Each structure stands twice: as structure tokens, then as C-alpha cells.
Amino acid sequence: MFSQQNAVGLAVWAPAKVNLFLEVYGKRGDGYHEIATLIVAITLYDVLEFKEDSSGTIRLRCDNRSLSTGPDNLVYQAAELLREKLKIRQGVAITVRKRIPMAAGLAGGSTDAAATLFGLNRLWNLKLHRDELMELGTRIGSDVPFFLAAPAAWCTGRGEKVQPFRLGTPLWIVLVCPAVGLSTADVYRHVQVAATPRTGVEICRAAQEGNVEEIGKWLHNRLEPGAYALCPALADIRGRLEAMAPAGQMMSGSGTSHFALCRSRSEAFQIARALRHGSDKRICPNVLPVRSCLDLATE
């Protein structure tokens, strides 16, 4: 998360994420599943602009007309939560410029909510500590605290328990974002919990060492089979990525986006060009080479 202030207001860049590892355990009493996941922020951003508003209300606009700008929007909920908690009377006008595909497993809604907590903390000079913002984030969504923590993290619980993680090397990734989206709840309803779940020890070690080949070897997402059952065309995308022979390939989160883990920047751009040339644009309109974020304070 990084920002730029000017005389008018504040702009915040909100990154997308991919999951290098996602294991699902038993269902909790609150209806969520217990998970363990290694999450990495990537250089694909929504941009949120915040301006003081004399109306004393929250005014939200978005350049994607398919996205609600009412109280069900996570950005609106994050702003309202801050106002209620701290008895704030100031209004704010928020404009969201969407670049992260929706319903794609990239946490576009969660990162925008985190950017709102981060941005309004600065705009309104609230001086809340990061841990306080993260606690508020848990009330909005499971992925929100991650974006307030670090460029990479090992997350447990329902995803809200965040342990910052340092990658041994920047990672180059090619995102493939299908035109179709999936409901996270639907994908979780189709998950089959393994009798012997994976621990993630191997991929964490490889990621800390910066061994891209080993990271690719240990990529894992327990939600993939359920997503493929709901949308069989997604398995074809994974097959196309596998045919390009990157270090590894996988679906991110609950889908539908997939990614190829590449060995270098040049390989990422080579694979992206090949996919753009050979893919059906009606199925895969977005093919994006990106990198893992180095530092969300200065990226």
C-alpha cells in the first residue's frame, strides 16, 4: 500500500495478490473454513482517491459500473467503520479506479477496503497504528489484514491471522484472468478437505531461499478441484500455462485467475506474448506480466 498526497486529497495504490499455497482444513463454528496460505502482493493496482467532503457523508464512485457503490461495497463499509468507531463527522468523497478483475481470486475488494482504512487514517490524521487498522480489517473481510501488513505473509485462521514473510527473491508472474468469475462461497462449498492436509513447510522454505524452481514444485491450492467442477474451462487455462513450461502454474485463491510462476522477467514477458497470441480473447481477455511487490510503502 503506498500513497501520494496533494493539495486536493490523497491517492492510494491498492495491490492485487496471488496465493502460492492454500490449504483448507475443517469447517469452523462460525461457518468459515480454517486455512493456511502464503500470500504475495503483486504489481497490479486499483487506485483510490480520497477527498474531504463537506456533506458529512460517504460518497463513493467507481469507473466500473458493474460494481455497487452503496453500503454493500467493502470500501464504503471500511469508511463507515472508521467513522462509527472514532465518532468522525467529516465526510469523504472516494473514487475507485478498478484495474484488478473482480471475482477472480485476486482480492480486489479486500485490497480496496484496506486502502480505505490506510488512506482515511492519513487523510483524517487519525494516527491509528497498523495493528489497530488490521483489527478493524478483520471485521470487513478475511484478506483485508494482509494488505495492511506486508508484501508477503503466511496467513492462518480464516486468513485474518497474518505473519509477515520475506521472499528470498522478487517473483515474476504471468496472470491469466478469464472473463468468467466465481463466487468464493460456491467454491468453498465444493472443497474436499484432505485426510492428510499439506503443511506448506516446503514452499515456505523455498520462498525464503528464493528458489523459484522449488517454489513452482510446491505450489498448491486445495480449492482448484472445486473451481474446475464449477467451471471446467478453467482446467484448460491451467493446461495452456503448463504447456509453456514455467517454473509452476496454479489458480489463485478461489479463482478464476491463474498464474504462471516464471524464472525471470524475460520469461514472463515471453510467456505473456505467447498467451496473448494463442488465447481466445473471449475466454481470457487479460494476460498480464507482473512482479511481486518489494515494499508496499515505497513500491
Q: Taking phi first (over 0 means left), then psi (-120 to 50 degrees means alpha), and beta for anything else, what does residue 12 get? A: beta
127 is catalytic: no
Q: Tell me which of 53, 72, 112, 143 is the catalytic residue.
A: 143
The CA distance from 187 to 37, in Å, is 16
143 is catalytic: yes
**Amino acid at position 269, single letter:** F
The C-alpha cell at 110 is 479486500
* CA 146, 211, 192, 243 torsion-angle sign: positive
Secondary structure (DSSP) of the chain:
-EEEE-SS-EEEEEEEEEEEEEEEEEEPTTSPEEEEEEEEEEEEEEEEEEEEETTSSEEEEES-TTS--STTSHHHHHHHHHHHHHT---EEEEEEE--SPSSSSS-HHHHHHHHHHHHHHHHTT----HHHHHHHHHTT-TTHHHHTT-SEEEEETTTTEEEE---SS--EEEEEE-S----HHHHHHT----SS----HHHHHHHHHT-HHHHHHT-EETTHHHHHHH-THHHHHHHHHHHT--SEEEE-TTSS-EEEEESSHHHHHHHHHHHHHHS-TTT--EEEEEEB-S-TTT-
Q: Report whether 170 contacts 292 (CB < 8 A).
A: yes
Show which residues are catalytic: 17, 143
